[in-house]
A and B are shown apart, each in its own frame.
Chain A
Amino acid sequence: MAIYRSHVLVCGGTGCTSSKSVLIKERFEEKIKEINLDKEIQVVLTGCFGLCEQGPIVIVYPEGTFYSKMSLDRVDEIVSEHLNKGRIVKKYVYHETDEDTEKVKALADIDFYKKQKRVALRNCGVINPENINEYIARDGYLALGKVLTEMTPEEVIKLVKDSGLKGRGGAGFSTGMKWSFAAPNKADQKYVICNADEGDPGAFMDRSVLEGDPHAVLEAMAISGYAIGATKGFIYVRAEYPIAVHRLEIAIEQAKDLGLLGKNLFGSDFDFDVEIRLGAGAFVCGEETALMQSIEGYRGMSRNKPPFPAVKGLWGKPTIINNVETLANVPQIIINGPEWFKSFGTEKSPGTKVFALGGKINNTGLVEVPMGTTLREVIYDIGGGCPNGRAFKAVQTGGPSGGCLVKDHLDTEIDYDNLTALGSMMGSGGMIVMDEDNCMVDIARFFLDFTVDESCGKCTPCREGTKRMLEILDKISEGKGTMEDLDRLENLAQTIKDTALCGLGQTAPNPVLSTIRYFKDEYLAHIVDKTCPAGVCKKLLKYNITADCKGCTKCARICPVGAITGKVKELHVIDQNKCIKCGACMDACSFHAIIRK
């Protein structure tokens, strides 16, 4: 195998790909070839580095130089200066690694990575996900080999149980327990399913694992197959993740070629095969019974449990369904043992959790921290706080099924129990940060609007109930709400929680309940005072021109509905009946003479 003296790692996650990282990789290859260094320098497309805000990201080894916000013309300079002449191009290096002029700071020491512990993401941004050899070099498939040659299925289940690993998809059920329910059931065929139907708005943990380390998921599926006696696995992934699907296809092909999937793995009599099933992106298909319906070719609708999938699952056969991130932990647990896994996190929630940081936060991206890390550490130390000096207001965890956490909760240690106690939930790991410019009624409306769209329509509480809730919220945000509406909203929410068929409906009212719980004053402002304190709900806004107006006529010319009148050099006026509250005038005014209330 050829030895290269330098490696250029270019992020190939969806985030950086959308800002043209693939072209950047090609440009590197082209420029390196031009100066005949292509035998000395290897260019590799990897998975997500996590700091998506600074993308496209390029890391150059052996130095570990972290170039951020790359562009095509920067490539040329880096090739001629750094790769050819050994001079790191400091002006393009991520600012934090460059503060000390003497030496470029190591990646692991910058604030964004310092508090992280990468287990599920250990290979993301380190290996080329399209090259199985690089996965194997990082101990890949060693766990599968160990399990098949040295352990009985019972021992595997016991080990996973002992580790305390809980499902990372949302509910947090013990993975080992789940496996142990399916193992004793006799059947001619059993199945394992990887649930990669990540649907929460703003969540991209599973996508990044699949894109950055697809073999880890395949290996774990084979291990779980051996543990419960299944020989067939399905990965249910949404078609809107084309890069993840493509890399999974390559990974499955490579694993088959090396005999790491297929028949008689590691000389044992265990066979295992994996197929990909594409979902059309319905949120409800992340619910396990609906997911199985979809794999079977039916419309994705959930059904009653029991029977649980472990008893009667895919095509009526015993089936276990695990989330992507859960699976990505499994090979590590097998190799390093349950005690190692329990050395991170809290007693009740061992291990780490990946979060997708989004919304009003400086370092948008993917982070993995030990359970028990506080919200403050994640949002401020790692995430860098809210941009433009705005004040933090709340963070939504658990997406449309979760709730918001507020300032007083910042020092809460993140684990399953703590978040549930505060009326939110861990969920799959989306964290949407909101600042003082976000209206909480509007946020609740946004998530509810999402669940109304995504309800499968099978049960009445979810189909009708969430729709009625949304109508009430619409009313409130238009300033037409009454105090009775608020009571009705809470009443309806509780009824839906108690009676809906599946998790989607049962959790759909959560964002409304939690915003009412923590931001009742904002609801009251909308209902009683008919104002939106954050200035978001359009129907409650009023644009007015102050005495600072110089009469330049700019606003009158820009107003799309001709609502502004006034003569040159005289105070202008907005006709409130005509105004559509688009805000164009406010943006256009050079004298800050237009205010929004």
Chain B
Amino acid sequence: MKSLEELKKLREESIKNLEMRNTEKNIRVVVGMATCGIAAGARPVLNTLVEEVAMRNLNDVQVAQTGCIGMCTLEPIVEIYEPDKEKVTYINVNSDKAKRIVAEHIVNGNIVREFTIGASDN
């Protein structure tokens, strides 16, 4: 170790892995991962979300899995919980949609209406 900068660089690299163990986060992204979700392809969606959140250093976002949400035909389902806002439910999500949800909804704060459960009703 030759300088403080070198240490700080190593710290930045190492910190990403530890972010997972911080439970005090405001935004929760939840993926339905019951048998129905897994069969519909929820696993790559979950992993994409985890990677995107880590890549963009979104330290306030927790990506977690949950059991069956109850609408198996609409899986993979992703729900986003933000404080003081209504829950947003995305349906039929795939990896590409997941990337857009992270970029548009979580980073820029614009709900991707076309992927939401509300859009499918209309």
Write the chain A residue with the least CB distance to B51: A3
Of A84-92, A188-196, A525-533, A556-564, which binds chain B?
A84-92
- Judge if B17 is at the interface, Cβ distance under 8 Å: yes
Report if B118 contacts A (CB, 8 A): no
Smallest beta-carbon distance B26→chain A, Å: 13
- Is there an interface contact between B31 and A86, defined as CB atoms closer than 8 Å? yes
Q: Name the distance in Å between A303's Cβ and chain B's nearest Cβ.
A: 39
B51 touches A149 (CB 8 A): no
Smallest beta-carbon distance A48→chain B, Å: 16
- With A85-B34, A86-B34, A133-B10 known as contacts, the answer to whether A3 contacts B21 (CB < 8 A) is no
In the docked arrangement, what's the CA distance between A133 and B9, Å? 11
Known interface pairs A3-B50, A84-B33, A86-B32; A136-B20 also in contact (CB < 8 Å): no
Contact size range, B: 35 or more
Interface: B108 (CB within 8 A): no
Residues of B within 8 A of A140 (CB): 11
- For the complex, what is the distance from the CA of A387 to the CA of B33, rounded to whole Å? 41
B23 touches A137 (CB 8 A): no
Kindly supply a per-residue 1/0 record for chain B positions 8-35, scoring 1 wherever the CB is within 8 Å of any chain A CB and 0 otherwise: 1011011111101101000000011111
Contacts A258-B1, A259-B2: A3 and B63 contacting too (C-beta < 8 A)? no
Contact A62 B4 (CB under 8 A): no
* Cα(A205)–Cα(B96), bound, Å: 50
| A107-B23 CB under 8 A given contacts A1-B17, A142-B7 | yes
On whether A267 and B2 interact (CB within 8 A), knowing A3-B16, A134-B14, A141-B7, the answer reads yes
Bound Cα distance from A1 to B54, whole angstroms? 11
Q: Tell me the residues in window 221-269 of chain A with beta carbons closer than 8 Å to chain B beta carbons.
A: 258-260, 264-267
Q: How many residues belonging to A are interface residues under a CB distance threshold of 8 Å?
A: 40
Q: Is B122 an interface residue (CB 8 A)?
A: no
Excluding A1-B13, A5-B63, A138-B18, 8 further A-B contacts by CB distance (< 8 Å) are: A1-B17, A5-B50, A5-B65, A42-B17, A62-B21, A106-B23, A127-B18, A141-B1
Residues of A within 8 A of B (CB): 1, 3-7, 9, 40, 42, 61-64, 84-87, 106-107, 126-127, 133-134, 136-142, 145-146, 149, 258-260, 264-267
Residues of B whose CB lies within 8 Å of any CB of A are: 1-4, 7-8, 10-11, 13-18, 20-21, 23, 31-35, 37-38, 43, 46-47, 50-51, 54, 62-67
A-B complex: 9 closest residue pairs judged by Cβ atoms: A86-B65, A137-B14, A86-B33, A64-B23, A87-B67, A133-B14, A5-B50, A259-B1, A145-B4
